[in-house]
A and B are shown apart, each in its own frame.
Chain A
Amino acid sequence: GESVGLHLPTLSVQEGDNSIINCAYSNSASDYFIWYKQESGKGPQFIIDIRSNMDKRQGQRVTVLLNKTVKHLSLQIAATQPGDSAVYFCAEFSSGNTPLVFGKGTRLSVIA
């Protein structure tokens, strides 16, 4: 989800449930996408990436889905844990030497 102003979209989930965080990207020429997790007071950490020749990629407890037709990216977290509480950012890259472009982020809150 994209945010407006100072308010990040927030997703609240029960511990043990699955989480789905969505991101709409802007550039149809983007061919590489990354999800980052940022905990309070820290720098973003790499979670998982995907290139445009794939539509799904799985990691440990995480899956990224890419729908190029509607320019949509999602991050699925299985069996969400309290340690998953953080802000999640998607980032997109288009060919060339331009830097990654970051989305505004979604705050995930896990309810114990």
Chain B
Amino acid sequence: DGGITQSPKYLFRKEGQNVTLSCEQNLNHDAMYWYRQDPGQGLRLIYYSQIVNDFQKGDIAEGYSVSREKKESFPLTVTSAQKNPTAFYLCASSTGGGRGSPLHFGNGTRLTVT
């Protein structure tokens, strides 16, 4: 049963702490993505990776970091430098390539920082 798994579903942290969100896919997709979604708003791209050991900043990368050491995994770290980290975080994957392909999404991690 192929898909994308994000864990945990809910995450609570104190201000000033770094936190890492997990994203794993078993779809054998080359490309992976992280989006942030705030209430009543669309999806904003944080980072994406087209291939292992390579990644690019999206529109709102400041205060976040990623790694892509394995094809299946693309963890996102929300650092203490992120000014407003409370949000719903979505991970996605796709086959990639230049012709466009659908993104497959996980069910998200809701991060609350107090």
By a CB distance below 8 angstroms, the chain B residues around A41 are 107-108, 110
> Does A59 belong to the interface (CB within 8 Å)?
no
Q: Is the CB of B42 within 8 A of A89?
A: yes
Residue interface bits A27-67, CB-to-B below 8 A is 1, else 0: 00001101010000111111001010000000000000000
Picked from A43, A93, A104, A105, the residue with its CB within 8 Å of the CB of B105 is A43
Q: Is the CB of A99 within 8 A of B104?
A: no
A selection of 15 A-B contacts at a CB cut-off of 8 Å is A3-B40, A6-B38, A8-B40, A36-B105, A43-B6, A43-B90, A43-B106, A44-B43, A46-B104, A95-B98, A95-B99, A97-B50, A97-B96, A99-B48, A100-B103
Give the size range of B's interface with the partner.
20 to 34
By a CB distance below 8 angstroms, the chain B residues around A105 are 41-42
Q: A6-B39, A6-B41, A102-B43 are in contact. Are A46 and B108 (CB under 8 A)?
A: no
Q: Is the CB of A44 within 8 A of B98?
A: no
Among residues of B, the one whose C-beta sits closest to the C-beta of A51 is B100
By a CB distance below 8 angstroms, the chain B residues around A100 are 100, 103
> Does A83 belong to the interface (CB within 8 Å)?
no
Among residues of A, the one whose C-beta sits closest to the C-beta of B31 is A99
Among residues of A, the one whose C-beta sits closest to the C-beta of B48 is A99
> Does B19 belong to the interface (CB within 8 Å)?
no
Among residues of B, the one whose C-beta sits closest to the C-beta of A91 is B103
Q: Is the CB of B105 within 8 A of A44?
A: yes
Quick one: which of A65-109 are within 8 Å of B by CB? Answer: 89, 91, 93, 95-97, 99-100, 102-105
**Bound-state Cα–Cα, A46 to B105, Å:** 9
> Does B58 belong to the interface (CB within 8 Å)?
yes
Picked from B42, B48, B108, the residue with its CB within 8 Å of the CB of A42 is B108
Q: A93-B100, A95-B98 are in contact. Are A103 and B108 (CB under 8 A)?
A: no
**Bound-state Cα–Cα, A4 to B8, Å:** 31
Q: How far is the CB of B39 from chain A (nearest CB, A)?
A: 7
